[in-house]
Amino acid sequence: MRLLLDTHIWLWSLLEPKNLTPQVAAELESPDNELWLSPISTWELLVLIDVGRVLVSGDPERWVREVLRTVPFREAPITHEVALESQAVGLPHRDPADRLLAATAKVYDLTLVTADERLLGSTEFSVLANRYGGRGTLPSALDLPEALAPRLSVARLALFLDYDGTLTPIVSQPEDAVLADEMRGVLRKLAARCFVAIVSGRDLGDLKRLVALDELVYAGSHGFDIAGPDGLRMEYDGGRASLPSLEAAHTTLAAVLAPVPGVRVERKRFALAVHYRNAAEERVPEIERAVDEATAAHTDLVKSGGKKILELRPRIDWDKGHAVRWLLRALALEAEGVVPIYVGDDVTDEDAFRALTDEGIGILVAEQPQVTAATYALRHTQEVLTFLRGLVEVLDEIRR
């Protein structure tokens, strides 16, 4: 077969081969098959590196060039014919990268290897699906509470949860992400049975107001600002030096992006967020340029990305992963008799997944497969609620 790898399949083959199904792994290794790659995938890989979703050592361009030399692929150029076909190819969405990839498979008569459900239904080109039981490439966490019961009978549970996209669905306006009563109820029950912390990019005060449970620990601003019961308080010192730069960048971006409909510039204590979910797609490059220029003007800030959001944060070695490790140490939870679990849905949660690689469990909340350091998955917030209820039931059973 002549196989065209999409970006995630290519990445998984390089960095996370366990995410490949046995069939796909065998086909990629078969000497009888030709492996093809589109420049679109090289471009997407550089974007993923730029926003921090893929971590590499050294210069990203040099790293990608070395990868292309080490594992040679046949190149499928984006010709005029491919560009024209991308407008006509039968896909249920208008994502230009997906359309160019599908058109490449069609024009060059290649079999597209993908885990993207949106590309699997087309009959206009051949597809080799990387699919595990319809749930993506990670095992579901829905059965995890019962599987952990023997371990939790002799160990304590330390539960860390993201907010947006994990406890509440992603919404167009951040202030509309209101926690459902049933989710708050199960969090209250869990807090009476184990340690529970909410770790979010939101400001600490905003996070506490939305969750409204005094018995929980809160880590706001990606872990720069932490508070909890019994006087627990920590504001990471390294972030304070960048407060003037954040304020200056806020003033600049608020003025520059004011004429762009659908953009919201939000000043947080230790971050600056540019929300563009409601902006027109053709204005996104303009928004990204403005943020890049603000980053260049303030060398003590670094840009990160998320779901329709760009953020500027202090350029220091502190993130959700460091915050989780700090909490485990500060609260004497860094021991063999503790089972840490982190549940999150976004790029910034990957730092926490990696921080718990050796002794904890990372659970990604995502509808589609993606490159991640997590070891389990849940598809959406309703499955998160089911999972948390399962933990309550198991902890209650252990108590009896």
H or E segment and range at residue 22: helix 22-29
Which residue in the list 6, 98, 116, 162 is annotated as catalytic? 162
Contact yes or no for 27/33 (Cβ under 8 A): yes
What is the pairing mode between strands 376-378 and 361-365?
parallel
Q: How far is Cα 315 from Cα 56, in angstroms, rounded to an integer?
A: 17
Q: How far is Cα 328 from Cα 158, in angstroms, rounded to an integer?
A: 8
Q: How far is Cα 250 from Cα 242, in angstroms, rounded to an integer?
A: 12
* Sheet with strand 301-306: strands edge to edge: 264-267, 272-275, 309-314, 301-306
* Distance linking the first and last C-alpha atoms of the chain: 58
Q: What does the DSSP assignment read for 243-262?
A: HHHHHHHHHHHHHHHTTSTT
Known catalytic membership, residue 162: yes
What contacts 98, CB < 8 A, 6 or more positions away?
91, 116, 118, 119
Active site residues: 162
